[in-house]
Structure 1
Amino acid sequence: MHLKGSDAGAGSGSAPRPQPLTLSAALVARLHTCLAYTAFSTALIVGCLCHYKKIVKNGVAGYPQEWFPSVSATIGDWYPERNIFQVLIALTAGPRLALVLFQYYLHYPRRPLLSMLVFVFGMIRTLSCGGWVYITSSDDHDVHDVFMITYMVCNIPWMVGGIACTPAGTSLKRRRVLVSSAFFISIIPLVYFFLQHKVHRIPGAYTHYSFFEWGLIFLDVLYDAMAEQEFKEADLQITFGPKVSAPVLTVDKEDIPSEPLVSILRNGNGNSAQEPSFDSSSNGRISIHQPLFVVQNLRPHFSFLSDVYLSYIFWSIFTSLIPTLFYFSVWELGIAGHELALLSTLSPFLLGIPPLLRWARTRGGQTTLRLLEFVALAAYALESPGLRLLAVAPGIAVLVLRQAAKWSADEDADSEYQGILMGLGLVVAALSKHLNHSNNPVWPFVNRKEALYNKIGLALALLAVYESYTRPMSFEKLSRRPAQQKANSAQKQHWLTAALPLGSLLFSLHNLASDPSTLIAWSWTGYENGAPRGPVPHLHAALTLLALCAGLLYPILLASGTTPHALDVRMHGMYFVLGALGARLLYVERGWKGYMGGLGFVAFLVSIASAVVLRAAQVGKGRVGKTFGGAFVVYCLLNLASVFTVAYAFVPGGWVLRERTDCVLIAQMACLALAFEFSRLDYVQLTRPGSMPSKAVLPVAKLLLAVVSVLSVLGTLYRWPSTPPRPFQPGPRIFNAGIWTVHFGIDNEGRDSQRGMTDLIRDMRLDVVGLLETDLHRTAFGHRDLTRVAVEESGYYVDIGPGPNSHTWGAALLSKFPIINSTHHLLPSPHGELAPAIEAVLDVYGTKVTVVVAHNGQEEDPLDRELQSKELARIMAASYPRPVVFLGYVVTKPHAERPAPYKIMVEDGRVHDIDHEDEDRWCEYIFYRGLYRTSYARVSRGIITDTELQIGQFALPKHGVGVTNDTLPARYLRAFKEQLPEHHWFFMEYYGDENQGGVNGHFYHVFGTPLYYNFPEDAVL
């Protein structure tokens, strides 16, 4: 196969034309291989000769423990090896780009779409290679890592796609499989030794890591080198000559794919793209005149991606309503009246009006309604929480009405397609939260300072609506149609049998799958022997996204007709039993076992989504308003029930559902069960292959799931800690500890407060932080994780405390010190709200220190507070004489007599108040034992919450000595900050008052300054 230029512009009497120059494309591949190997080997040799001990040294050890250099140190740190390498690798760029182009050109006739995707990833891979080569780890470590990880991830579609494009049964394919398998297998020990080096800091581990790093370089270049054999076997040639109007691709007749190239180039509507012309030749070859880049008509794919994005917008708006309205409930600590906004989701009842239903199903009606619902997206610009709710609630009403009209489409294929889009949009929304610290970037209540995301999201939504409105025609409907007998049978069923499953499905997806870390919160139990007992939210949430993608792949394959003989088992009773088992494991078990059950359950939920929507459309024909309106009634009731399980103290009759998440889960499954067939033991086929509106979108749907999977893993790897958390001031053996009741992460302006919290925690240099009212993995609070920014950007170990199935308002612990063990306690609460506590043992500079974070009940329940205080005192006393720091919410006055909590905890718990002379306290307290308290500060709340931040600074006595003088006078040697070393001082910028000074509304209040304390004279530090 060769590419040659045609004669153009020659005429009689013209000067002789130069003869074309023809080169084999295999030479380009060989040149690339030689230059790449030369660049790396030269850098290694020169580096070892000039700077051997410098390039083998790292942050853990040097020569002789480390004796082989890494790739990064070799090519990026020293002159002249760095410069020699960069010159040689620059020469490699041209052949590398040509290699990517030639492979695309060669594979296109056989696999047009796949070759296009491989070409795109090959270009991204090449550009990212330039990124990590020319921006070294010493220049910018984070940027270097981003390009390196991008390069590694792009190798997956590049190698796998290249293998798929290679003809089966050839030696080339076997070699590519072998080399790529060795490449990916080598990543496993590479990551292992990297963690041994970075996290465990083992000398010599980086040398072993370097061997596999160089091995990956060798295998990577070797894989590309095999293109030389491919080009040679295909007789691919490059012809340089006079300017031509169009190049000519010449292939053997037997190489033409079985499906005509013309049909390959047609779009999903059957409209021809630019069709190539064919010329026969006598030598058994066919010339195909075409542009160098044959651009397939990609409109169906763009249309599909627009639909997916609009589904993402649906979930973004839909999940924003309840957090927006619960702002008022949180501040009132009871029913505020704004909860009635939830009734806006009942607008589908209006579809019982036939003219409205007909209009809502038209293209014009759908477009008009979409533009109206975008008012909820634009609500981010409104300052007032009340005004935002006034914008979001009507937007939700329009949103669900339009979506219900779309789900109830006349064509069953459309209804099932909409169900698949619902799942895809949910997965993309969950990914956006995973990559954005558990906040959906287009929610209207995120921080206004980050409104760039909202603007971009709204602009893309408008473009997607424009694409939908200008779409030439609907996607091509395939010849297969649903069995009319099944459709007629479905219409004879009662509309409740469709409304109940759909409502339960919507709630279940919202409550368990809208954020990938929610399942981890359900199964989290803390630490044991220095390691988590189960998955950690910010590190393992990607597994939830992988499970969602796996669950969604099954209905996509079924609906696309790629498995024409496969029966759809999703609506069979035994499939429901499998889902119910996953739900039971999630509720009953903890740790990895409970999380795995949850993964199975959410995979089950997304796999049945399209079938449940299709069934609702079939059963609801002629009863659309009742069916879909009833579904949202079920959704609302389940939402309220799930909230009442923990908010029972604030709603009339709430005690009925107190701590009864099991009842809510049973109700969910009972409603879902109505969609399944239990009467027969054989497989049930309620849908049929071929219901995807266009086969053209199948590869894009599968690619989208692959991209979501890769991005979820990539996002996790990017934020995976390369070094363990370290205290802010590791030298003098001091640490700062704080307690803050963060009011469910909703600030005074009704916006997410996670970023503002993290800023203050960082400025106060808090090594240990207790956060209260943090269990936000509920629909009421948006399924958020308030520790995510602090953990991922400031570096903390985290214990997120009891999860949603423990029915508390939540407690969390952030620590710069390793958490050796942690235990979750549910404190005695016979009458009021269930109180959580975390008992953690930290390794503080080699000394075990017990930290207790707790949230006691309200003043309305004195018996609860008394029992809870006794239990906390028991926990603290049980660890005597180990040092203890208590950080908690205790509703009591200082020095209050029993049965008030103060003296119970101080005396029975064998601890000291951080400053017993501070009489102006009511709920937040810091107690301690076995430490020297050197500073105490109270920082105003600003707009973050309704409670101040209290901070204590503690110094550890010399290891093995303990506190030498624990008397009252020795503990209250008050001092000015100037009498202490500067590392004891708190942040100076926070001096001020409510009128001036401070930072972001935070300042030292009550005393106007931090309080400082001297060490006793006989203290041994």
Structure 2
Amino acid sequence: MSPKEKDYPHTEQFILKASTIARAHTILAYTAFTSALALGLLLHYEKIVKNAIAGYPEEWFPSVSATIGDWYPERNVFQIFIALTSGPRIALVSLLYYLQRSQNSSLPTIVFVSGIIRTLSCGGWVYITSTDDHNVHDIFMIMYIVLNLPWMVGGIYSTSQKCPTVRRKRSIIASLFFLFIVPLVYFFIQHKVHRIPGAYTHYSFFEWGLIFCDVLYDACAEEEFRLNDLRVAIRDLKSVNGNAAPTKVKYIHIGGSPSRQERSKSPKIQIPLTQNWKVFFTNTIYLYRPYVSFTSDLYLSYIFWSVFTSLIPTLFYFSVWELAIAGSELALFSTLSPIWLSIPLVLNWARTRGGQSAMHLLSFIGVAAYILKSPLHRLFLVAFATSAAMIPRVVTWHDDPAYQSIMTGLGLLLSSLSKHVNHSNNPVWPFVNEGSGGHNKEGLILALLALCEFFTRPTGGRQPPDSEVDSDESVPTTPWLLGALPLGSFIFILHSLLADPSTLIAWSWTGYEDGRPRGPLPHVHGSLTLLCQSIGLFIALQAMKGMKVHFLANPLWFAFGSASSYAMYTYKNWPGYFGGLGLAIFMMGSIPPILYNVSSTGAVFRTSFAAMLVYCLLALANVWTVAYAFVPGGVYLRERTDLVVIAQMCCLAPAFKWPALRHRLSTTALSSTVSSCTRTTLALISVLGVLATLYRLPATPTQPFRPGHRMLRAGIWTIHFGIDNEGRDSQRRVMNLIKDMELDVVGLLETDLHRTVYGNRDLTRVIIEDMGYNVDIGPGPNSHTWGAVLLSKFPIINSTHHLLPSPHGELAPAIEAVLDVYGTAVTVVVSHNGQEEDPLDRELQSRELARIMSAAYPRPIVFLGYVVTRPHAPRPNPYQILVEDGKVHDVDQEDYDRWCEYILYRGLYRTSYARVSRSTVTDTELQVAQFVLPKHGRGVTNETEIARYLRSRKEGLPSEHWFPLAYYGNQRWGGVNGHLSISKPLYYAIPDNAEI
């Protein structure tokens, strides 16, 4: 008899086995889903299997959302049973916490909190269906899936050692749950992006599999409660004479095995009630401070990568405007700030808490620089901030390689994830602001909080101890040059290839075939890069945890990385991307041996300064492979990315254990807290990357702006690498004008931003994710062009990338695509010719473009290109070659104000044409033309000049042919968004005998 039972011997009590509560939860949960499925199949079968792509018989099994949320009475029956399930579920979560709680670990508390929030989020997606509010439903669903990670993984580790079968069952079920997510995402993409009939049925099987595993995982609590003989007793405490007990009316006792506190042999310390809150506060800080410190260090690493990757795009703004060496390139050498560590006094100060805090604070200036309007002023601040950020980073790389291996990798992953979520823009970059997807203020506030935590951290935390050494030298085990070469190459590879999850995809992309992409799509498959980076860092974590870093320094590991690098460079489409994924795993897994190698040199200044010099040389060489026409000596690196790839791998080689080098790696272990936090962070980054992809996919099928009229409105725009005239990101400004002009087909030029000089960005992301275009991003960074993009509201049947002849000047890209426009195959060509200084290049390029267009005859065609020629210029100038040899017509041969952008066409009826002023978005205007397709199976009946130039007022055409009135610059509307306006709107009548 318990002490309480002795105190109240005449109490009435009700005892309930905890396993009964768990069983009730399982029965109610399964009943809710199975009853809804049975009713749906019986009453509304064809309705619940139908979706936006197909219906029965292509789709023959319903999804969970369609089953539980669309029809009466299954929706209502399901919601009633789920409401009944909520009570047992909250009780189950609470009882598990009581059973698993411990003074030595906060993991059961984390599991308990995630379980409660998970239960509430379940109510969110159950009672707010996708029919009610698609976004809110998805947010709660994503929250539920994310919370399953700490709930399941934490629950496995919190399971009592006396219940090995329960732990094993939970491990199997949780593994199945997360394994099902992979095919679930695959079939969802097949359904949503590729619009394949029947794919949603396969998706539904795995969705139901997740539901089954989710409930089955919670059902394991029944066995755990039974093995621990856990019971709930409710007693009515009354005295013999019927008077109520003086202190309580009811007493709730949870019986079973004694708590961990009761099992402890240490005597209990009685603490006065007035001091309880102080003890609680102190214990809370003591328990949670390591996790807070880990989070602070992670965010400071994120800020480092954000400032570091913003430097080159900020300085290269001036180089692009000058198309030559502008002097701003010298700012790159701010990364050589470790030269100050050659002064012993500076080195000692940089190793102190105060010195590192000061440097971190100065690095925040790079984030705050977004406030300044002048690009030059921003460059000064970003260069200074980068210089400050490098000093504490290289010092900690040398002094604490184990922990910094984790922080460096996680910081890069967090930066990459933030870009993936934010349309490929880092939200704290200085050249973004609130109008272009920036969250600079919030980023600064979080940085200051992280710095406060770092500065006030108790001694013995993650901060390395203050050094009393007054010299750069200690006892070395590795020559400093052999530590510098791998470190410099390592930073360069992370920056150039892994700073954005879609860069590796751009390297392998080649276009479409038979209506489907030949390889991965950046906005769809980029999360795979994050997943593989996480796997690589997890491998590194496990190696450090087992003190087996030397395995990652094995030459065989380097051979794997070299083979992956070769495959990435040599192959295209999925094989090339798989090579890139292998390189991502290799690079993240190689962080520990590289930093241990740096630490064992015993020379902070020499190693770090030489490493950053190697980084600068590789970065410049990488730019020179494309910008060879604008730099002295560029001819020697023209289109030689292969040399850069070979050089970066050769520089990495000394970090590995070759017999001739004989260097030794001294390793240190990571704490269990760091290991646990790292695993959790890697899992969250991987899951959030996938969920962000799913959330960003367009909710509705892609369709033209004016469906049903057989109209196509096309535009061509050179957008100057996504940087506006004020040096800020222009993605959203470009998108807004495209949206206002209602362009069905868009050719964008100067768009290859997957380079360090442009921030490894994807200019198409915000447009295709917010507006639902199909996209061909054109030749990638390893094709050595300035880039071309095709956006289409119509399906892309086939596309081919061309590298136009360029014997003297810059390499010119072109995209040849066949679109399905209302059932008619229409060829669209997007191209960017070479510069005016190279007449032979332009002539040869024009002949190739004319050949491509004439080869497509008599198929309708729209040419959208940057040509560099005057209208009607005779041969060998491009104009006459393109029009005559390509068998096409100028959009308006009487418009003599053009210079480089042209729209040409064939086999269509043109109804309107205009040039839209550039404002400050870029340095060139947007040209727009609208066409009407002939009747299906028919062609243009009259292509004479008279028929093509039947001019009309806009009032003579239906209103769907008009351009937005707000953009008419000469009328009272006066333009919009910084005086963007239509400078020359022209309209054309359709011939009377036209068949449309």
Question: What is the TM-score with the length of structure 1 in the denominator?
Answer: 0.88
Deviation at 1:554? 2.2
Residues 243, 684 of structure 1: CA spacing in aligned structure 2 closer, same or farther, 3 A cutoff? Answer: farther
* Stretch moving more, 151-160 or 197-206: 197-206
Confirm or deny that 1:691 pairs with 2:674: no
Confirm or deny that 1:915 pairs with 2:897: no
**Residue number among 135, 148, 163 corresponding to 1:155 in the alignment:** 148
Match of 1:131 in 2: 124
Task: Name the CA distance, whole Å, in 1 between partners of 2:5 and 2:754.
Answer: 69
Match of 2:562 in 1: 580
Note if contact 1:941-1:1001 (Cα within 8 Å) is conserved in structure 2: no
Equivalent runs, 1:946-957 vs 2, <5 Å: 946-957=923-934
**Residue number among 815, 818, 822 corresponding to 2:792 in the alignment:** 815
Q: Which amino acid aligns with 1:835?
A: A
Match of 1:427 in 2: 413
Note if contact 1:316-1:442 (Cα within 8 Å) is conserved in structure 2: yes
Task: Name the CA distance, whole Å, in 2 between partners of 1:884 and 1:836.
Answer: 18
Residues 534, 198 of structure 1: CA spacing in aligned structure 2 closer, same or farther, 3 A cutoff? Answer: closer
Deviation at 1:501? 1.9
Deviation at 1:894? 0.2
Confirm or deny that 1:997 pairs with 2:982: no
SS of the aligned residue for 1:499 comes to: helix
SS of the aligned residue for 1:319 comes to: helix
Match of 1:608 in 2: 590
Q: Which amino acid aligns with 1:30?
A: R
Deviation at 1:278? 11
Deviation at 1:458? 1.0
Task: Name the CA distance, whole Å, in 2 between partners of 1:365 and 1:177.
Answer: 46
**Offset from partner CA, 1:932-960 (integer Å, 9 cap, x none):** 11111111112211011111111111122
Confirm or deny that 1:519 pairs with 2:504: yes
Task: Name the CA distance, whole Å, in 2 between partners of 1:208 and 1:524.
Answer: 27
Residues 143, 530 of structure 1: CA spacing in aligned structure 2 closer, same or farther, 3 A cutoff? Answer: same
**Offset from partner CA, 1:616-639 (integer Å, 9 cap, x none):** 2321x3x43222112111111111
Residues 110, 714 of structure 1: CA spacing in aligned structure 2 closer, same or farther, 3 A cutoff? Answer: farther
Deviation at 1:35? 3.7
Note if contact 2:698-2:770 (Cα within 8 Å) is conserved in structure 1: no
Aligned-residue CA RMSD (Å): 3.5
Deviation at 1:354? 0.4
Confirm or deny that 1:386 pairs with 2:350: no
Note if contact 2:533-2:585 (Cα within 8 Å) is conserved in structure 1: yes
Residues 671, 192 of structure 1: CA spacing in aligned structure 2 closer, same or farther, 3 A cutoff? Answer: closer
SS of the aligned residue for 1:297 comes to: helix
Q: Which amino acid aligns with 1:121?
A: S
Note if contact 1:199-1:722 (Cα within 8 Å) is conserved in structure 2: no
Task: Name the CA distance, whole Å, in 2 between partners of 1:584 and 1:672.
Answer: 15
**Residue number among 376, 386, 404 corresponding to 2:394 in the alignment:** 404
Confirm or deny that 1:1014 pairs with 2:989: yes
Residues 430, 180 of structure 1: CA spacing in aligned structure 2 closer, same or farther, 3 A cutoff? Answer: closer
Residues 1002, 957 of structure 1: CA spacing in aligned structure 2 closer, same or farther, 3 A cutoff? Answer: farther
Match of 2:470 in 1: none
Q: Which amino acid aligns with 1:866?
A: E
Match of 1:467 in 2: 453
Match of 1:505 in 2: 490
Deviation at 1:72? 3.1
**Offset from partner CA, 1:90-120 (integer Å, 9 cap, x none):** 3432321221222233233599455344334
Deviation at 1:416? 3.1
SS of the aligned residue for 1:646 comes to: coil
Match of 2:467 in 1: none
Equivalent runs, 1:542-941 vs 2, <5 Å: 542-560=527-545, 563-564=546-547, 566=548, 568-619=550-601, 621=602, 623-679=603-659, 686-688=665-667, 690-692=668-670, 694-721=671-698, 723-941=700-918
**Offset from partner CA, 1:56-86 (integer Å, 9 cap, x none):** 6654567898787654345434566545543
Task: Name the CA distance, whole Å, in 1 between partners of 2:402 and 2:971.
Answer: 58
Task: Name the CA distance, whole Å, in 2 between partners of 1:362 and 1:949.
Answer: 55
Match of 1:29 in 2: 22
**Residue number among 310, 330, 353 corresponding to 1:340 in the alignment:** 330
Task: Name the CA distance, whole Å, in 2 between partners of 1:492 and 1:85.
Answer: 66
SS of the aligned residue for 1:143 comes to: helix
* Stretch moving more, 920-929 or 385-394: 385-394
Q: Which amino acid aligns with 2:82?
A: I
Task: Name the CA distance, whole Å, in 1 between partners of 2:53 and 2:540.
Answer: 50
Equivalent runs, 1:35-74 vs 2, <5 Å: 35-40=28-33, 58-59=51-52, 70-74=63-67
* Stretch moving more, 599-608 or 346-355: 599-608
Q: Which amino acid aligns with 1:503?
A: G
Residues 674, 41 of structure 1: CA spacing in aligned structure 2 closer, same or farther, 3 A cutoff? Answer: closer
Q: Which amino acid aligns with 1:673?
A: A
Deviation at 1:577? 2.4
Match of 1:86 in 2: 79
Task: Name the CA distance, whole Å, in 2 between partners of 1:552 and 1:371.
Answer: 28
**Residue number among 941, 953, 959 corresponding to 1:964 in the alignment:** 941
Match of 2:431 in 1: 445
Deviation at 1:722? 5.2
Q: Which amino acid aligns with 1:152?
A: I
Residues 592, 276 of structure 1: CA spacing in aligned structure 2 closer, same or farther, 3 A cutoff? Answer: farther
Residues 721, 20 of structure 1: CA spacing in aligned structure 2 closer, same or farther, 3 A cutoff? Answer: same
Task: Name the CA distance, whole Å, in 2 between partners of 1:826 and 1:879.
Answer: 18
Q: Which amino acid aligns with 1:963?
A: V
Q: Which amino acid aligns with 1:732?
A: H
Note if contact 1:569-1:685 (Cα within 8 Å) is conserved in structure 2: no
Match of 1:140 in 2: 133
Note if contact 2:36-2:78 (Cα within 8 Å) is conserved in structure 1: yes
Residues 246, 790 of structure 1: CA spacing in aligned structure 2 closer, same or farther, 3 A cutoff? Answer: farther
* Stretch moving more, 370-379 or 28-37: 28-37
Note if contact 2:233-2:254 (Cα within 8 Å) is conserved in structure 1: no
SS of the aligned residue for 2:115 comes to: helix
SS of the aligned residue for 1:997 comes to: coil
Runs of 5+ consecutive residues of structure 2 not aligned to the other structure: 236-246, 271-278, 465-472
Deviation at 1:339? 1.6
Note if contact 1:5-1:244 (Cα within 8 Å) is conserved in structure 2: no
Residues 644, 718 of structure 1: CA spacing in aligned structure 2 closer, same or farther, 3 A cutoff? Answer: same
Task: Name the CA distance, whole Å, in 1 between partners of 2:305 and 2:200.
Answer: 45
Q: Which amino acid aligns with 2:514?
A: N
**Offset from partner CA, 1:666-706 (integer Å, 9 cap, x none):** 2212222233332269x986243x432x3321111111111
Q: Which amino acid aligns with 1:608?
A: S
* Stretch moving more, 428-437 or 231-240: 231-240
Task: Name the CA distance, whole Å, in 2 between partners of 1:206 and 1:582.
Answer: 34
Note if contact 1:527-1:823 (Cα within 8 Å) is conserved in structure 2: yes
Q: Which amino acid aligns with 2:420?
A: H
Residues 844, 168 of structure 1: CA spacing in aligned structure 2 closer, same or farther, 3 A cutoff? Answer: farther
**Offset from partner CA, 1:870-899 (integer Å, 9 cap, x none):** 111111111111111110100000000111
Residues 875, 246 of structure 1: CA spacing in aligned structure 2 closer, same or farther, 3 A cutoff? Answer: farther
Deviation at 1:869? 0.5
Task: Name the CA distance, whole Å, in 2 between partners of 1:204 and 1:608.
Answer: 42
Task: Name the CA distance, whole Å, in 2 between partners of 1:206 and 1:601.
Answer: 33
Task: Name the CA distance, whole Å, in 1 between partners of 2:761 and 2:53.
Answer: 37
**Offset from partner CA, 1:439-488 (integer Å, 9 cap, x none):** 1111111134257611111111111111111111233899xxxxxxxx98
Confirm or deny that 1:532 pairs with 2:517: yes
Residues 16, 26 of structure 1: CA spacing in aligned structure 2 closer, same or farther, 3 A cutoff? Answer: closer
Residues 18, 634 of structure 1: CA spacing in aligned structure 2 closer, same or farther, 3 A cutoff? Answer: same
